[in-house]
Every structure is written in structure tokens, then in C-alpha cells.
Amino acid sequence: MIKFYQTGTFTVGNRLLKEDQRSVQADMHRTNSLNSGHRACQGCGEALGARYAIDAAMQATGNQLIAVNATGCLEVFSTPYPETSWQIPWIHSLFGNAAAVASGVAAAQRVLGHTSTRVIAQGGDGGTTDIGFGCLSGMFERNDDVLYICYDNEAYMNTGVQRSSATPPAARTATTPAVGPSPGNVFGTGKNVPRIAMAHRIPYVATASVSNLRDLERKVKYAMGIHGARYIHIFVPCPLGWGSVSEDTIKLARLVVETGLFPLFEAQDGELTASTPIRHKVPVTEYLKLQKRYAHLFRNPPDLERIARIQAMADRNIDEYGLLQ
Amino acid sequence: MLKQTEGSRAVAEAVALCRPQVICAYPITPQTHIVEGLGEMVKAGELVNCEFINVESEFAAMSVAIGASAAGARTYTATSSQGLLFMAEAVYNAAGLGLPIVMTIGNRAIGAPINIWNDHSDSMSMRDAGWIQLYAETNQEALDLHIQAFRLAEELSCPVMVCMDGFILTHAYERVDVPTQDQVDAFLPPYEPRQVLDPADPVSIGALVGPEAFTEVRYLAHHKQLRALGLIPQLAAAFNKEFGRNSGGLIRCYRTEDAETIVVALGSLNGTVQEVVDEMRARGVLIGSVSICSFRPFPLAASREALKHAKRVIVLEKCLAVGLGGIVSDGVRKSLSGIVLNGYTVIAGLGGRAITRASLTRLFEDAGRDELEEVTFLDLNADLVSHELERESKSRRTGPTAEAILRQIGTVASGIG
């Protein structure tokens, strides 16, 4: 771990770093596996997340990579027939089966003796935490040689922003509208898939955010260096669905980490092994108020009770993962 | 090699001889013995270079098969009934992607009411999914069709379902001739995929297709099935040459040359039908039968040729298009466009009800006098139905229908005859 006197981060930029410390994205020879020209919205966090993750995985595997994609934004915006942004072998089958298709691809690699070819499955939060959850759990349980990446933008964005089991409390979606006495999504629901993945005791589980590029790339590269079922859950803001300014995508991805709402951690064989400390704890309001999906919390008078409940969730994460030590 | 064995075991051995590389297994009666047999062969090291994957659902089974096939492996799975419905989305997807997966259907009814016994409701529900569907008459044919199915699937890059009657075939011990590995290797070359996920030659499979090309993609799927109409008889002939047996093909005619009455059926039912045909022929009745092996593609021309001189055609179906009548009858009638004859649809054997020679004899005699309704339910207990309809007319909360009917007939556990 290198330290920089001003912030302790990599913010000095790549030119001052040694080559092996530079990000994959800064590499002239990065593969651009998800190439430009696709149809993602301006400021799409998922497009960034996928490019970061797949380029890192390509570097880690010597470009011997096959990707399986669930139905969703990433699939639709990357492959409008007859065009494709994918520079790697890529298959889309259905919404709910990416993990199982990837298991099949991995089985074929084994049986065909393609020992160096590695397999990634990827999907949004709907395709992962909801409709694809059975196949995902099956892939985990069998310890199939697949890295599954969930790009979590906290709702079904491709179909027009409906609630998923990854939608946070109070968030407005098309199916949890900001009307009635408690507008937005209810509290006390939802699914923590990274923790559920850990409960399968698979070799590696990690969370990442598109704001923390090197952390994200390091986790993907680590995951591609080992075998068995692996899971990385990447936080990817969605300007369209969240009602945020497209230039705030990275800012939101950073704030969600620094509030404690989305802890960055790693786990091996079901045990938590590392978490990324928060440098300066930020109140959740700083994160929430940038997003129209939470606008109802900040009316006059503001919904202090529910803001406090969201703050309590962040504080609980900070305690649970030791983020302020 | 001749052996006395269970239908499921015979199929497992045939599949093993085809050198499958990935097999996905999920238990559902009555296909389970097939994948159990294959799992044992893999575990024991008798079937090598094969990944046997225990998945968590039929949806996953077909999804794993899709991934494996797209990555260039010869892939097999089997299912029945609810399992086929549970994988339905992936069944369509496998065909849409043009992946040559072979799947056995141990034909079984679909609930509710839940019923584990044989009829064709399951595979018929997937008749338009884009898979080729072949129906086996005997365990020998089931075995043989699997060997043909892999070659057919891979030549066309189209998935194939081999349908065999649950229990009646899957669980029946019969004499079968199991070919040698050399024979099967000579007939079935290694799998050469048309499309494959390969880092050395990256392609995107499964792109979004809009109105500008969707019709063309669907037409090509139809065209593939039309090509199968030519290929299926060719493969059956090639199979006969290699193995010395008549198995498969589009349809098979039995004593139809001068027949005034022709019975059409799918699968193992043909054995009983042929016995009744023989008995009635011995009494001088001009009757014959046609066994449809290839239901998808539907052999319109072959069906027309076989049936055009008949005075009446009886289509015996182990399935029901609720609100319409027959499913197989639709294809048969289409094949007879412009030809005037009496056509009858007979729904028989639903949920495993035995189709006896006595019932068929009565049925064919009624048909011979043209005294059949257009749609008949063979051996329907009309009293039971009337009683239930009357009961339902008398009060509102009459409770679950199936349970009421069972109460009415009393305890006749497994009274499927």
C-alpha cells in the first residue's frame, strides 16, 4: 500500500505512479472490451462499471475471457443488432439465467480442455438479486468456476425504474411512488446479496464502487486469479432512475461509500477479510439530496424521522464493518 | 448387443454412446432414471470427458445447457411435465439461439391436478418453441432416436426433443439392441459448432433484434424445420444402413394401403393400435394406422400421402387443446386440405388412463359406422361429470373440483385402468 501525503489516495494521477500501480483504465493497451458507441445514457454508472471490470478481467486473464450477460440495460445498450460494443466473446440468453449459462460455459471450458479461458457472468440488480437469484445461488453452491458481477443501480432501470429487492428504503421508483403518508420504498425490506453470497462460503466476495477505480480493478483482478464461484457487487449510480445530474455519477458513487450506506469489503470462504475505511464520514443527507428519488424527504418540513432511519442504517454499517477505525 | 433393460437405462446408454460432454440433471418423475443412469456412468468413470452437473431447477438445467452448447460442448438434459414448463423460457431461448441441445422428455401430464402419469401435454405445450420433436414408439426406437437426434441437431444447429411415454416406455423392461461405440462413432461425427464462444474469434450471441430483422430470424427458424423434413428421413435411412433397424423417419404407415379407416397416433400407443388393427383386419375391416414420429416439423406432405385415400381418419391424442379439442388433429387436418373425408379427434389416455384394446375396438367400430362425435373423450365417465356439474349448479362454495370427484368415485387408489 503506498501512501501519499496529501490524501492517502491515488489522486496524484497516473503519471506520478510506477507502471504497476497505474490503473488498467490508464493503460494504453487496455482492451476497451465494452467499446465506445454503445447506447448507454449520459453518466451511466453501469457502463463505467462494466468497462472497468471487464478490462481488468481481460488484463488478469491474458484476454482469455468469455462473458455471459443477463437481460437488462447493459445487454440492451451494448448490442442493438447488428451492432455490438463487445470486443470479447459474449452471450445473452435470458433475464434470470446468467449465472447458470455461465456455469455451462465454464463446464464446457473444462471438458474441452480450455484451461486458461475464464468466465464472467454479469447482470443488474434485478437480474441478480431477484429473478436470477435461484440460478445465482445454484452457481455459488456448486462452486462453479464463474465470477458473477452485479452492477447495482438499485432498481429495474431498463423497464422504467421499478423497485427491486436492491432498492433502498424511501427511494422513489415507478412502483414505489412518492405519494401517500410514507412516500417511496418501505423500510425493513430488501436483500443483501453480498452477505448471502458469503453464507454460501464461496472463495471470494467483494463489494466495489465505480468511484474507487483501483479498488474495483484490484478486486476483479484478484477474483480472476483464483478459481471457484466468486461474486463482486458493484455500486453503479443511474442518473435516469435516480434523478441525479449525469456529471454527479462518480460523486454519488463516492458519497454512498463515505456515508457508510454502501460499505466496501472483501470476504474469503465466507469470512470478512477486509473493509475500506471511510476517510471523512459524510452525513447521508449529502448523498440523498443530490437525487430526485429522495426529494420527498426534503420537502418543507423535511422528513427528519425517515432521514434519521437512513442515517442509522449508515451508522450501523460503519459499526458492523469497522469503517471508521 | 441385445439386453433386457429398462427404457430409461437404454436411453442413458444410448446417450452415453453419443459422447455427451455436458449433462445437466434435475430430478422429475418419470425421466429421473435416465439422468441417474448417466450420473452413475460419469461417476464410475465409464463415461469419460463429460461434465455431469446437478442443477437447482429445470430452468437452470436448460440454462446450463445453453451455456455449454454455445461454448462448443455436446450437451444433453432430460425432463418431464412441470419441469418442462418450468424451463419453458429457456426452451424457447435454446431454439432461438440455434443451439443443438438434445433433451429427452419422459412424457407426463401437467397439473393441476397434479398427476405423475403419462400423456403428451408436456411436450405438446412446447410444440412451437422451435425444437424438433420426435416421438418414440418403443424403447428400441427411443434408444435409436437419441443417436439420430444428436446428428440431426448438430447438422441443423437446432435443438431436438426425443419424447418417450413416461412409465409406459421409461419404466418398462424390454429387449433392446444396444449398438457398439464404433457403430455410433461411425454414424455421429464429433460436434462442430456453427457458432462458438471463443476468445480467439469473439462473437456476440443473443443480441437485441428489432422489427427490422425479427421476422427474417424467425423465418430462418421455420426454414430450418422445413430442411429437417428432408433430413429426418435421410438420417433414418442412414441409420438403417449402419444399424440394420427401421427407426425414426417422419411417419410410419401400418396396413394403410387399402384402408378405409386410418388411425393416427404418436408414441407407444401405436403398439396397441396396431394390435387392434390386426384383430379388426382379421375380421375383414379395412383399417390401418399411421404413427407420427416427427411432430415438429409436422410432415404435412407425408401425412397427406398416407391419408388421402381414406374414408375416415381418427386422430388419437394424448393431449388436449382446452377449448378446442385436438392438437395433433390440427396438423392432420391441415395436411388434408381440400380432401373430403370424415375426421375424428379422440382424446385418450390423459393422466395415464389406460387405453385398452377393448376401448379402442369399440371406438374404431363406432367410427366405422361414422357414429363418433367430432371430438370424443375416450372412456369418459359421463355419470361422474354429470354428478359434479349438478353439484356445482346447486351451491356456490362447492370446493375444489378434483377432490370432489375423487370423493364421488371413492377410494380406488391407482385405479388408472
This model of the complex carries an ipTM of 0.95
Task: Share the mean pLDDT of chain A.
Answer: 95
Q: Is B416's Cβ below 8 Å from some Cβ in A?
A: no
Q: Where are the beta strands (DSSP E) in B49-157?
A: 51-54, 75-79, 102-107, 132-135
Residue A12 reports pLDDT greater than 70: no
Tell me which residue range forms the domain holding A61: 29-321
Any domain includes A178: yes
Question: What span, in angstroms and rounded, lies between the C-alpha atoms of A139 and A230?
Answer: 9
Name the strand (E) or helix (H) holding A193: helix A193-199
Q: Is the dihedral of CA A45, A50, A53, A56 positive or negative?
A: negative
Any domain includes A171: yes
Contacts 24+ apart (CB under 8 A), B326-333: B326/B375, B327/B124, B327/B127, B328/B264, B328/B266, B328/B292, B328/B295, B331/B295, B331/B298, B331/B300, B331/B303, B332/B264, B332/B303, B332/B307
Name the strand (E) or helix (H) holding B306: helix B300-307
Any domain includes A298: yes
pLDDT digits (tens, 9 = 90+) for B272-304: 999 999 999 999 999 999 999 999 999 999 999
Residues from chain B that touch A100, judged by Cβ atoms under 8 A, are 55, 59-60, 63-64, 67
Residue A5 reports pLDDT greater than 60: no
B56, B60, B206 member nearest A91 (Cβ): B206
A69, A88, A107 member nearest B68 (Cβ): A107
Residue B252, all three cell numbers? 410410419
Distance from CA of B389 to the nearest CA of A (A): 41
CB–CB of B56 and A104 under 8 A?
no
| Residue-level pLDDT at A325 | 74
Q: Map residue B82 onto helix, strand or coil.
A: helix
| Residue-level pLDDT at A19 | 75
Residue A128 reports pLDDT greater than 50: yes
CA B283 to chain centre: 33
Residues from chain B that touch A109, judged by Cβ atoms under 8 A, are 71
Any domain includes A22: no
CB–CB of B60 and A97 under 8 A?
yes
Among the ranges given (A223-227, A263-267, B53-57, B397-401), the one the predictor scored with the smallest mean pLDDT: B397-401
Residues from chain B that touch A79, judged by Cβ atoms under 8 A, are 204, 206-208
Any domain includes A2: no
| Residue-level pLDDT at A17 | 75
| Residue-level pLDDT at A95 | 98
CB–CB of A134 and B50 under 8 A?
no
* pLDDT confidence band for A266 (50 / 70 / 90): very high
First to last CA, chain A: 17
Q: Which of A88, A98, A11, A101 is nearest to A57 (CA)?
A: A88
- Interface A–B counts its CB contacts (< 8 A) at 156
Residue A69 reports pLDDT greater than 80: yes
Residue B375 reports pLDDT greater than 70: yes
Task: Share the mean pLDDT of chain B.
Answer: 96
Question: What span, in angstroms and rounded, lies between the C-alpha atoms of B15 and B9?
Answer: 10
Question: How many structural domains are present in chain A?
Answer: 1
Higher pLDDT, B248 or B413: B248
Q: Mean pLDDT throughout B20-38?
A: 97
Domains within chain B, CATH numbers bracketed: 2-243 (3.40.50.970), 251-377 (3.40.50.920)
Question: What span, in angstroms and rounded, lies between the C-alpha atoms of B138 and B172?
Answer: 10
A66, A75, A94 member nearest B71 (Cβ): A66
Distance from CA of A255 to the nearest CA of B (A): 35
Any domain includes A278: yes
Q: What's this model's pTM, rounded to 2 decimal places?
A: 0.96
CB–CB of A111 and B65 under 8 A?
no
Q: Where are the beta strands (DSSP E) in B208-286?
A: 251-254, 261-265
Any domain includes A155: yes
* pLDDT confidence band for A21 (50 / 70 / 90): confident
Any domain includes A258: yes
Q: Mean pLDDT throughout A125-138?
A: 98
Residues from chain A that touch B21, judged by Cβ atoms under 8 A, are 108, 111-112
Question: What span, in angstroms and rounded, lies between the C-alpha atoms of A60 and A55?
Answer: 9
Find the CATH number of the domain harbouring A178. 3.40.50.970
Residues from chain B that touch A63, judged by Cβ atoms under 8 A, are 199
CB–CB of A105 and B206 under 8 A?
no
| Residue-level pLDDT at A7 | 47
Q: Mean pLDDT throughout B192-198?
A: 96
Q: Mean pLDDT throughout B77-105?
A: 98
Residues from chain A that touch B210, judged by Cβ atoms under 8 A, are 80-81
* Residues on A contacting B at a C-beta cutoff of 8 Å: 63-66, 68-69, 75-76, 79-82, 84, 86-94, 96-97, 100-112, 117, 134-135, 137-138, 141-142
CB–CB of A79 and B208 under 8 A?
yes
